[in-house]
Amino acid sequence: MILLALLGAVTAPTPPSITFQDLNAACISGINGNEQQMQECTSVIKAHARALEPEGGSEESTCMSVPQVSSDEIIWSYIDWAGAHDYPKDADAGPSVLTALLDAYPCGWVEI
């Protein structure tokens, strides 16, 4: 499933462009109660997460189990990863989102 997405076998819309620093600022501000910033954080992360979905819906996984996670868990997976890794602040956030999600959910996930 993930390999197909990484090889470009997906037709997801292009996620919005935002820097790593700006996405982290939006997510932290959102966690602290700013609803507009949380919406921005969520929409960017979910847009990049959709890029990992194979075309045509879910594919069979070779993993024993694929976790079911909430939207909040997906967001927190990114925030935790971002806090633990040194990533260029002015770089596009997209690769960091994909790396964080693949690190947290190497077998993919089902959003609940």
Does residue 37 form part of some domain? Answer: yes
Domain total of the chain: 1
User: Which tokens belong to 37?
Assistant: 């910033």
Position 101 scores a pLDDT of 92
Q: Could you tell me if 18 and 96 are in contact, meaning their C-beta atoms sit under 8 angstroms apart?
A: no
pTM to 2 decimals? Answer: 0.75
Does residue 4 form part of some domain? Answer: no
Position 106 scores a pLDDT of 87
Which backbone phi and psi does 52 adopt, to 5 degrees? -90, -5
pLDDT by 10s per residue, the chain, length 112: 444 444 444 455 677 789 999 999 999 999 899 999 999 999 999 898 887 765 555 556 667 777 888 888 988 999 999 999 989 999 999 999 999 999 998 888 888 8
CA dihedral angle for residue 94, residue 97, residue 98, residue 100, rounded to 10 degrees = 150
Q: What CATH number is attached to the domain comprising 100? A: 1.10.890.40
Does residue 27 form part of some domain? Answer: yes
- Quote the domain boundaries for residue 29: 18-111
Position 32 scores a pLDDT of 92
Position 3 scores a pLDDT of 44
> Can you state the angle between helices 35-50 and 71-84, rounded to 10 degrees?
90
